[in-house]
Structure 1
């Protein structure tokens, strides 16, 4: 079929809501014959009958129900757009589409986004998580305004195309269930030898740094699980399945929320975070707030 005629779709939508051409024609200020002809043209364009007649009332066919479901969404959005455009520019909601690398802890992600959410205007946040590579592709397509990641882009093709804004960094701490944490604090880090380790399966850069630090410290831990969800890995740790790593900046929230305890911070290992945008000069008010936000406690 050719491109959909939105005027015809609107006429169909009004008819479907009113239940008859006569009532819809009054609402649209059109002659019933004209509206009936427009409906016939639309049915021909979509390739099927949209209504059947039952006792002087038009009833949607299966195809009509499908088209109506899309029309409901389309005209709900146009109504929302009309209301928004009637507002003064300063009163209009600010849309912020942010991508967050899956390897970033959710508590950290919230803290990074918070400056944008505290602006003196309403913010409509569209937050997506995923692999940094996929999020950067969405940024290139202008589907996202900013990507928050713990991975510094390495290739020149990426760094030439985007602007990288260093945000903040935090040391890494090791956590475990209270009984295990209390036992492992003595003689740290030698106490970690042959202890169970819960690994971050998202290839978080800080985790590779942690593994290098363990090697340098002559410590060999037993890898018992790889988990790609930062919340689930903490639940496993709480249940005593092993030791896990998280940024020191959120240790109080981690301990309170998951009933675990910090074994010790690893000051030689840091987690660096970045905001990536399409341009060095950031025009988006919400992204500017994120880039100039704050420094996490270390």
Structure 2
């Protein structure tokens, strides 16, 4: 009979490509992992790995085993979550990771449909760096990751990117800064104090490219991993800051900042990243459907309107 503990160790090593790193993640010694893999290969009477330099590579049999292991542990995770939470409350858990670069209000709008399904759903939301969220997704501790960039293929994580929509970026500032930089936008931003998302946010590179194309050289006075923290500094008048155009009213009412202008060519895309190629989790399906139908229509309409603040 198949030893599922050995299969679990194999699954980790196959995904990571290293016995040492898998042992660190599982809090075991490399010798323990190696011994268990050898036992698994003996019981199956087939070789699952071949060593290429310092890296392990799956054999054809190993690739088949990994495919089945993925399905086995996904089902096991669903069973565990169902028994732990559903039995007590009748609610199914929806485990979501949100990248810290994704604005909180956008995350709310994306996830809110999951709370209004016929089947009771308990939302468990975790915010973190994308790399850590992807690692949690890889070991089935998350059902979904909401991100501003797709899953990088070089991470070697089996996951699928589901596009939720896109949104044009705009620049905002407290009334004094808005009055100063709105005329002749975007060229008025040359040498202006600017707050930016941190380097790893997808908007960061897009904005830098846009500045170059517009021949603008702003004074970057701060970079922020957390979009909420950037808006807090913007509210204090430290500098002009970018944010998705669909947040225009929220930024005005909650942060006292006014729209300066739209960066027409800076478009941020949002993704739902799952381990499912075909979405089946009812909450994930609801998130995807609502985002495509509702959330990003406002941004497109804004650019198509006669809003006098639109310059670029």
Q: Normalising by the residue count of structure 1, what TM-score does the alignment of the two structures yield?
A: 0.67
Shift of the alpha carbon at 1:83? 9.7
Q: Which residue of 2 aligns with 1:124?
A: 122
Unaligned runs of 5+ in 2: 1-82, 300-312
Aligned length: 214
1:154 to 152, 155, 173: 152
| Cα separation, 2, equivalents of 1:274 and 1:156 | 18
2:235 to 223, 231, 238: 238
1:85 to 80, 84, 87: 87
Q: CA RMSD in A?
A: 2.1
Q: Does 1:111 align with 2:113?
A: no
Shift of the alpha carbon at 1:118? 1.8
Give the secondary structure class of the aligned counterpart of 1:151.
coil
Give the secondary structure class of the aligned counterpart of 2:134.
helix
Give 4+ residue runs of structure 1 displaced > 4 Å after superposition: 81-84, 156-159
Q: 2:234–2:257: 8 Å Cα contact kept in structure 1?
A: yes
Q: 1:132–1:151: 8 Å Cα contact kept in structure 2?
A: no
> Structure 1 pair 121/216, CA: closer, same or farther in 2 (3 Å)?
same
Deviations 1:56-102 (A, max 9, x none): xxxxxxxxxxxxxxxxxxxxxxxxx7995388xxxx21210001111
1:140 to 134, 138, 141: 138
2:275 to 273, 278, 287: 278
| Cα separation, 1, equivalents of 2:118 and 2:103 | 27
Q: Which residue of 2 aligns with 1:203?
A: 200
Q: 1:196–1:242: 8 Å Cα contact kept in structure 2?
A: yes
Give the secondary structure class of the aligned counterpart of 2:290.
coil
| Cα separation, 1, equivalents of 2:186 and 2:125 | 38
Q: Does 1:263 align with 2:265?
A: no
Shift of the alpha carbon at 1:156? 5.7
Deviations 1:198-252 (A, max 9, x none): 1212621112101110111010000111222211211211221101110001111
| Cα separation, 1, equivalents of 2:276 and 2:223 | 36
Q: Which residue of 2 aligns with 1:74?
A: none
Q: 2:86–2:93: 8 Å Cα contact kept in structure 1?
A: no
Q: 1:101–1:131: 8 Å Cα contact kept in structure 2?
A: yes
Q: Does 1:213 align with 2:215?
A: no
> Structure 1 pair 281/122, CA: closer, same or farther in 2 (3 Å)?
same
Give the secondary structure class of the aligned counterpart of 1:293.
helix
| Cα separation, 1, equivalents of 2:147 and 2:88 | 37
Shift of the alpha carbon at 1:178? 0.7
Q: 1:103–1:202: 8 Å Cα contact kept in structure 2?
A: no
Q: 1:113–1:290: 8 Å Cα contact kept in structure 2?
A: yes
> Structure 1 pair 250/83, CA: closer, same or farther in 2 (3 Å)?
closer
Q: 2:151–2:160: 8 Å Cα contact kept in structure 1?
A: no
Q: Normalising by the residue count of structure 2, what TM-score does the alignment of the two structures yield?
A: 0.65
| Cα separation, 1, equivalents of 2:175 and 2:287 | 35
| Cα separation, 2, equivalents of 1:136 and 1:83 | 23
Shift of the alpha carbon at 1:153? 2.4
| Cα separation, 2, equivalents of 1:241 and 1:143 | 39
